[in-house]
């Protein structure tokens, strides 16, 4: 067995017995997730793919979609306009917080729901169907294969997503969201329901690690500048209210999601992804945080660590 697979297997074996955390239930369909599912995947800059455990189990991408859709909107708008519309400051609050600037109504950052909904609305398209098609194309290009969405998860969130709709209405009244809040959140719910595996997420993360070039397909998905800005936002805002401690302990740009997905990027080295549904109080995958903390320490990946 190659040394990387061996290391992932070893990590998987050591962390599997950890039973802490709760599977999210506020989107009813997510409550069906198996808390014992645990997959780890890694994609190198040469496009080599490694995995351990249930890395081929499909699940809805949820908030792990946010950096990739941000990269798409950033490509459309350019850095100045993007920053004028959605901020880049950690909110210090939960993922579903009402974190809007008082004077402008601008959402704090694109990694929490308010900013992510505003970002989805900024993806250029003639109509909502075309907007979602562009989002799905973009996520698929990052993953290097054609993705689809989970209609049951989408319907479940659309039925129970009043808080996100409320955020969208608030933003429209504050002047920071264009378009119909109901339609925009509908597209956002579809985006969150896109089906991926840990193996897909590792390729997506590796594409950011390689400056926007997919190391498996060789396709340029976004520019180096867009990848750098996206990673910077992930580093400061990717782990919700746990972002500061994460940067301290792990030191890598990352993004988590409520279904238990978690990606981390070691720029110029690899992308890594975890799937494990039980979450901690901040909404981050318990096994994911433990696994990536161990990987970072073992391979000295902390961004502040001098090579
Ligand atoms: N679709 C979820 C929501 O908006 C995404 C949140 C998450 O993954 N943290 O509530």
Does the pLDDT of residue 92 top 80, yes or no?
no
Kindly indicate the confidence band of residue 103, based on its pLDDT and cuts at 50, 70 and 90.
confident
Q: Mean per-residue pLDDT for 143-150?
A: 98
| Probe target for ligand 1 pocket from 257, 260, 283, with the most ligand atoms within 8 Å of CB | 257
User: What is the dihedral sign for C-alpha 138, 217, 9, 247?
Assistant: negative
Same fold, 3-59+195-298 and 63-192: yes
| Residue linked to tokens 């689809």 | 148
| For the chain, domain boundaries | 3-59+195-298, 63-192
CA of 79 to the centre of ligand 1 (A): 25
Q: How many CB atoms lie within 10 A of CB 92?
A: 13
pLDDT bin (cut points 50, 70, 90) of residue 306 is: confident
- 63 touches ligand 1 (CB under 6 Å): yes
d(CA 236, CA 242): 10
Average pLDDT across the chain, whole number = 95
Instruction: Give the number of other CB atoms < 10 A from CB of residue 130.
Output: 12
For ligand 1, pick from 27, 109, 263 the residue to mutate: most ligand atoms within 8 Å of CB: 27
How far apart (Å, rounded) are the C-alpha atoms in residues 234 and 131? 23
- Per-residue pLDDT averaged across 36-54, rounded? 98
Q: What is the pLDDT of residue 98?
A: 79
Please tell me if the CB atom of residue 95 comes closer than 6 angstroms to any atom of ligand 1. yes
- Decide if pLDDT at 240 tops 80: no
CATH of 63-192, one of 3.40.50.970, 3.40.50.2300, 3.40.1010.20, 3.40.710.10: 3.40.710.10
Closest CA to 231 of 250, 258, 210, 259: 210
Residue 221's nearest CA partner among 288, 271, 292, 151 is 271
Fold that domain 3-59+195-298 belongs to in CATH = Beta-lactamase (3.40.710)
Q: What pLDDT is attached to residue 282? A: 86
Cα 28 to Cα 24, 25, 46, 154, 160, distances in angstroms: 8, 5, 39, 11, 8
User: In whole angstroms, how large is the CA radius of gyration of the chain?
Assistant: 18
């Amino acid at each position: 067995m190659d040394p990387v697979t061996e290391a992932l297997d070893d990590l998987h074996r050591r962390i599997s017995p950890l039973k802490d955390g709760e599977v999210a239930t506020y989107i009813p369909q997510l409550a069906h997730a198996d808390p014992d599912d645990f997959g780890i995947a890694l994609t190198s800059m040469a496009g080599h793919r490694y995995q351990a455990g249930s890395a081929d189990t499909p699940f809805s991408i949820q908030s792990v979609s946010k950096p990739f859709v941000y990269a798409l909107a950033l490509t459309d708008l350019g850095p100045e306009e993007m920053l004028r519309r959605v901020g880049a400051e950690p909110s210090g609050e939960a993922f579903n917080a009402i974190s809007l600037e008082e004077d402008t109504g601008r959402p704090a950052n694109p990694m929490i729901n308010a900013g992510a909904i505003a970002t989805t609305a900024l993806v250029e398209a003639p109509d909502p169907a075309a907007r979602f098609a562009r989002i799905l194309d973009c996520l698929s290009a990052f993953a290097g294969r054609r993705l689809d969405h989970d209609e049951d998860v989408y319907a479940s969130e659309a039925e129970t997503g009043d808080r996100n709709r409320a955020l969208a209405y608030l933003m429209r009244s504050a002047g920071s969201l264009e378009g119909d809040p109901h339609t925009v959140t509908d597209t956002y719910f579809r985006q969150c329901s896109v089906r991926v595996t840990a193996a897909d997420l590792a390729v997506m993360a590796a594409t950011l690690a390689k400056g926007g070039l997919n190391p498996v397909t060789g396709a340029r998905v976004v520019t180096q500048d867009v990848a750098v800005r996206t990673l910077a936002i992930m580093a400061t805002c990717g782990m919700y209210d746990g972002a500061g401690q994460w940067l301290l302990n792990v030191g890598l740009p990352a993004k988590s999601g409520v279904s238990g997905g978690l990606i981390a990027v070691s720029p110029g080295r690899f992308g890594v992804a975890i799937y494990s549904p039980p979450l901690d109080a901040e909404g981050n995958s318990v096994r994911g945080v433990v696994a990536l903390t161990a990987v970072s320490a073992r391979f000295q990946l902390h961004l502040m660590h001098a090579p």
